[in-house]
């Protein structure tokens, strides 16, 4: 890696729930700098969750993130002219980043509704341990498990 590591930027918590992880989700959804549109999507999803499940949407969100966040992933490593998929433990902010990324991708893949509704449905499904984001997590975990033989390269 050349040069210095880029410094971590400090982001402010979101305006409604005052939580940093929800602010990161909003920033992940945001496209072309349209933060108010991203906020409408996330807060609309939370409203849809509270209307549909009659539960606190923050609890559903926390359960979904807990279920989707991976423990292991694979990273490619080149050793002696061969590439190996080496399983590594996911640490810190990367768990949250991957969980947000997979939830948003799964929500975008759903058809026939507004983004806020699709995101709400995916969060509800992930909180129950179902849905496309959970399938992605299971696929990543299986890949890491099947490449345990290369763990000594880490």
Within a domain: 15: no
Q: Specify if 14 maps to a domain.
A: no
pLDDT single digits (tens) 65-103:
999 999 999 989 888 888 888 899 999 899 999 999 999
Q: What total number of domains does the chain contain? A: 1
> Does 11 map to a domain?
no
Count of other CB atoms within 10 angstroms of residue 42: 26
Does any domain span residue 104?
yes
pTM greater than 0.85 (yes/no): yes
Residues 27, 25: Cα–Cα separation, whole Å? 5
| Radius of gyration over every alpha carbon of the chain, rounded to an integer in angstroms | 17
Supply the range of the domain harboring residue 102: 20-153
Q: Is 82 within a domain? A: yes
* Residue 7 forms part of a structural domain: no
Answer yes or no: is 8 within a domain.
no
pLDDT in tens, 27-59: 999 999 999 999 999 999 999 999 999 999 999
Tell me, what CATH number does 81's domain have? Answer: 1.10.455.10
């Amino acid at each position: 890696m050349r040069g210095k590591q880029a410094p971590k930027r400090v982001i402010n918590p979101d305006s409604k729930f005052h939580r940093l992880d929800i602010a990161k989700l909003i920033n992940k959804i945001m496209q072309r700098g349209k933060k108010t549109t991203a906020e409408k999507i996330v807060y609309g999803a939370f409203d849809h969750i509270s209307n549909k499940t009659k539960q606190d949407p923050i609890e559903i969100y926390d359960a979904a993130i807990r279920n989707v966040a991976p423990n292991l992933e694979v990273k490619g490593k080149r050793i002696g002219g061969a590439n190996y998929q080496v399983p590594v433990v996911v640490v810190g902010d990367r768990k949250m980043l991957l969980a947000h990324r997979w939830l948003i991708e799964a929500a975008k893949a759903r058809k026939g509704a507004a983004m806020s509704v699709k995101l709400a449905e995916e969060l509800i499904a992930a909180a129950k341990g179902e849905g496309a984001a959970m399938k992605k997590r299971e696929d990543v975990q299986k890949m890491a498990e099947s490449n345990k033989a290369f763990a000594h390269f880490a």
